[in-house]
Amino acid sequence: GLGKASMATSAFARVDCASFNDPHARSLALTTFVLIEMLNALNAISEDESLLSVPPWANKWLLAAVCAGVLQQALILSLPPIAALFEVAPLSPSEWAVAASLSMPVVLIDEAFKWRRRRTRTERAKSDTGTNMHPHKP
């Protein structure tokens, strides 16, 4: 209880929290989260099928919405009055690349889950039809 709370407090006492007030750091973090959510939306095109077999352009409305979301994020960061309202700052192309690279693992993780679901479904189908059973020897 109280001992754990004081240990956590003392551990965070050494953390420099100034970065939480830095609009640039906030912009990079927020952009990373936005890109993660946009990629999650694309992953949701199919619950089980890979993005390689059901590509993003299979749902043009979703693809348009994802593009609009990324464009909106870019506009929020780039237009000074809106950036001031959200307390964010513009990102350089290399910082956008960093945000994109930090976001990409969500696609790989979801693809791994989809692969596992497909594999499990196939194994269950085989066992239900008896193709996975071996005849007993007398």
> Are the CB atoms for 45 and 109 separated by under 8 Å?
no
Tokens of 17: 């929290």
CA dist., res. 33 & res. 99, Å (int): 8
CA dist., res. 13 & res. 65, Å (int): 42
Tell me how many degrees the CA angle 126-130-132 measures, rounded to the nearest 5: 60
Is residue 37's pLDDT more than 70? yes
Q: For 106-119, what is each residue's pLDDT tens digit?
A: 999 998 988 998 88
Among candidates 45, 35, 91, which has minimal Cα distance to 83? 91
Is residue 44's pLDDT more than 90? no
Q: For 45-78, what is each residue's pLDDT tens digit?
A: 888 888 888 888 889 999 999 999 999 999 999 9
| pTM of the shown model | 0.74
Among candidates 25, 100, 46, 112, which has minimal Cα distance to 70? 100
Question: Reduced to 3 states, what is the DSSP secondary structure of residue 44?
Answer: coil
